[in-house]
Amino acid sequence: MPSSSRPTSDDPVRGGHGRPAPVTPAGAVLTRPDDDAGRPAPSSRRRSKYGLTPYGFLLPAFVVYAAFLLYPLGRAVQISLYDWDGLSLATFVGLQNYVDVVTDAQLRASFGHALVLIFFFAVLPLGIGLVLAALLTRARVRGLGFFRTVVFLPQVIAMVVVAVAWRQIYAPGGQLNGLLRALGLDSLTRTWLGDYTLTLPAVGFIGTWVSTGLVTVLLMAGMSRIPGELYEAATLDGAGPVRTFVSITVPSVRAEIVVSLTLTIIAALKTFDLVYVTTSGGPGRTTTVPSFEVYRRAFQLGEVGSAAAVAVVLTILIFLINLAVNRIGERER
Q: Given this model, what pLDDT does residue 27 score? A: 46
The C-alpha atoms of residue 214 and residue 128 are separated, in whole angstroms, by 11
The C-alpha atoms of residue 240 and residue 189 are separated, in whole angstroms, by 41
**Whole-number Cα distances in Å, 211 to 91, 125, 157, 215, 242:** 42, 6, 12, 6, 24
As a whole number, the mean pLDDT across the chain is 85
The C-alpha atoms of residue 307 and residue 240 are separated, in whole angstroms, by 54
The C-alpha atoms of residue 175 and residue 15 are separated, in whole angstroms, by 92
- 296 three-state secondary structure: helix
Residue among 207, 201, 187, 333 at smallest CA distance from 272 = 207
pLDDT range class, residue 330, cuts 50, 70, 90? confident
Helix ranges (DSSP H) in the chain = 42-50, 53-65, 71-79, 96-103, 105-118, 124-138, 144-156, 159-170, 175-182, 199-223, 228-236, 241-244, 250-252, 254-269, 273-278, 290-295, 304-332
- 126 three-state secondary structure: helix
Q: Given this model, what pLDDT does residue 2 score? A: 46
Q: Given this model, what pLDDT does residue 41 score? A: 54
DSSP string over 52-69:
THHHHHHHHHHHHHIIII
DSSP 86: S
Which amino acid would we find at residue 330? E
Q: Given this model, what pLDDT does residue 265 score? A: 94
pLDDT range class, residue 4, cuts 50, 70, 90? very low
pTM for the whole structure: 0.79
Are residues 101 and 309 in contact, defined by beta-carbon separation less than 8 angstroms? yes
11-29 burial, b at 16+ Cβ within 10 Å, e below that, comes to eeeebeeeeeeeeeeeeee
- 83 three-state secondary structure: strand
The C-alpha atoms of residue 258 and residue 247 are separated, in whole angstroms, by 18
Are residues 192 and 170 in contact, defined by beta-carbon separation less than 8 angstroms? yes
pLDDT range class, residue 39, cuts 50, 70, 90? low
Residue among 289, 278, 333 at smallest CA distance from 314 = 289
DSSP 23: B
- 319 three-state secondary structure: helix
The end-to-end CA distance of the chain, in Å, is 71
Are residues 333 and 281 in contact, defined by beta-carbon separation less than 8 angstroms? no
pLDDT at 12 over 60: no
Are residues 93 and 224 in contact, defined by beta-carbon separation less than 8 angstroms? no
pLDDT range class, residue 151, cuts 50, 70, 90? confident
The C-alpha atoms of residue 294 and residue 284 are separated, in whole angstroms, by 17
Q: Given this model, what pLDDT does residue 20 score? A: 53
Q: Is 302 left (phi over 0), alpha (psi -120 to 50) or beta?
A: left
Are residues 273 and 294 in contact, defined by beta-carbon separation less than 8 angstroms? no
Tell me the mean pLDDT in the region 2-28.
48
Express each pLDDT in 210-264 by its tens digit. Answer: 999 999 999 998 998 989 888 889 888 888 888 989 999 999 999 999 999 999 9
